[in-house]
Amino acid sequence: MTSKERVLAAIAHQEPDRVPINYLANPEITTGLMEWFGLDSYEALLERLGVDFRGVGPAYTGPPMPDLGPDRRQGPWGIRMRRVAHGTGEYWDYDEFILRDARTVEDVNAFPWHLSPDHFDYSVIPAQIERNRDYCLFIGGAGTPDLMNGSGFVFHPERVLLGLGDEDPALLRLFDIRTEFWVEHARRILEAADGRADLFWFGEDLGTQRGPLISLNTFRRHIRPRHEAVLAVAKEYGLPTMLHSCGSTRMFIPDLIDMGYDVLDTLQPEADGMEPASLKKDFGAKLAFHGMISTAGAVAYGIVDDVKREVAERLETMMPGGGYLLAPTHALQSNSPIENVVAMYETARDVGRYRKG
């Protein structure tokens, strides 16, 4: 099977030739893997690992971001970050929260860093598709529309959660601005893709390790309708949809299925209520799963044999009947030994084959 056929079969709850594989990692892991295999390009690494997914999207052509110096930078939506070094690498951590003092709808409307669909060149998409036509081509990602996290990066996370509790009009206006952007942005991407995209990837972190971040009532009042507005565009073009959410999301799963989500990512097995066998049993007939190889488990803290055992156990649980796409539960972190990451992907390819007949 091609990668495209493999992923789409699994999402449709059919058994492909092998389990589909995806890759997410911090830069230090990517560099280490390329050195391990003696490779000189990221694309060659994806090929070597057997990765079945490729992202496609437009090029940003909007206003240039301000120069904040070598250790600080600004990204889309006015998100400001600073460089933070740690024992095995560095992160760009969120910093400043430049909308945290916005108190009114007018303050939010006047913010100069909102994205516009006009800030992108969509003409680059057909060439991306042509280069990757045999892979599962996804659009979007964990930041789509990412109402709580995305707003928290400029409002401050605490203010977002408190604002949901008291239905802060300024916060809900920012939610609407993000939603309106993604409805039109998605439409233009899919028009440029001309029917050749395969998967629309959404994101909304709904849980902590111990339970949900918000109540089901709050989700239904403020998150679900806005996601459904963007979902409608994906469904208009016939695309399967996948939602990224960290932490414990079990409480929301019946709603996610009812909304039309086809795949749930990332499925941290150590989070409350996210035991793989239970998820497969209770929801596997209606929902496919992407993830489940913990970045806080054997890959980070075990040895190669531990990794092989965890991956094999996960495959034994999740593969029957299709509906499983193997991936880490988050970007592989730089504290993970490279030999463990290699073992993860080698085991996925070796053990993750379906036996026909």
Residue 234: band (very low, low, confident or very high) from pLDDT cuts 50, 70, 90: very high
- Percentage of the chain lying above the pLDDT 90 cut: 99
In a domain? residue 356:
no
Placement of tokens 């030994």 in the chain: 337
Using the predicted structure, report yes or no on whether residue 356 has a pLDDT greater than 90.
no
In a domain? residue 81:
no
Range of the domain at 263: 3-65+100-351
User: Tens digits of per-residue pLDDT, 88-125?
Assistant: 999 999 989 999 999 999 999 999 999 999 999 999 99
Greatest alpha-carbon pair distance for the chain in Å reads 64
In a domain? residue 167:
yes
The total number of structural domains in the chain stands at 1
Residue 81: band (very low, low, confident or very high) from pLDDT cuts 50, 70, 90: very high
Using the predicted structure, report yes or no on whether residue 246 has a pLDDT greater than 60.
yes
State how far the Cα of 2 lies from the Cα of 313, in Å rounded to an integer: 25
Rg (C-alpha) for the chain, rounded Å, is 20
Instruction: State the chain's mean pLDDT as an integer.
Output: 97
Average pLDDT over residues 263-274: 97
Using the predicted structure, report yes or no on whether residue 293 has a pLDDT greater than 60.
yes
In a domain? residue 158:
yes
In a domain? residue 83:
no
Placement of tokens 């709850």 in the chain: 13
In a domain? residue 296:
yes
Average pLDDT over residues 239-265: 98
Collapsing DSSP states into helix, strand and coil, what is residue 82? strand
Using the predicted structure, report yes or no on whether residue 155 has a pLDDT greater than 90.
yes
In a domain? residue 33:
yes
User: Tens digits of per-residue pLDDT, 158-214?
Assistant: 999 999 999 999 999 999 999 999 999 999 999 999 999 999 999 999 999 999 999
Residue 229: band (very low, low, confident or very high) from pLDDT cuts 50, 70, 90: very high
Using the predicted structure, report yes or no on whether residue 139 has a pLDDT greater than 60.
yes
Collapsing DSSP states into helix, strand and coil, what is residue 175? helix
CATH number of the domain where residue 228 is located: 3.20.20.210
In a domain? residue 287:
yes
The DSSP secondary-structure symbol of 104 reads S
Burial class (CB in 10 A: 0-12, 13-18, 19+), 297: middle
**b/e burial code for range 44-80 (CB count within 10 A of at least 16 → b):** ebbebbbbbbbebbbeeeeeeeeeeeeeebbebbbbb
Average pLDDT over residues 150-161: 97
Using the predicted structure, report yes or no on whether residue 357 has a pLDDT greater than 70.
no
Cβ distance 16 to 99 under 8 Å? no
Using the predicted structure, report yes or no on whether residue 87 has a pLDDT greater than 60.
yes
- Pairing status of strand 59-60 against strand 199-203: unpaired
- Pairing status of strand 120-121 against strand 59-60: antiparallel
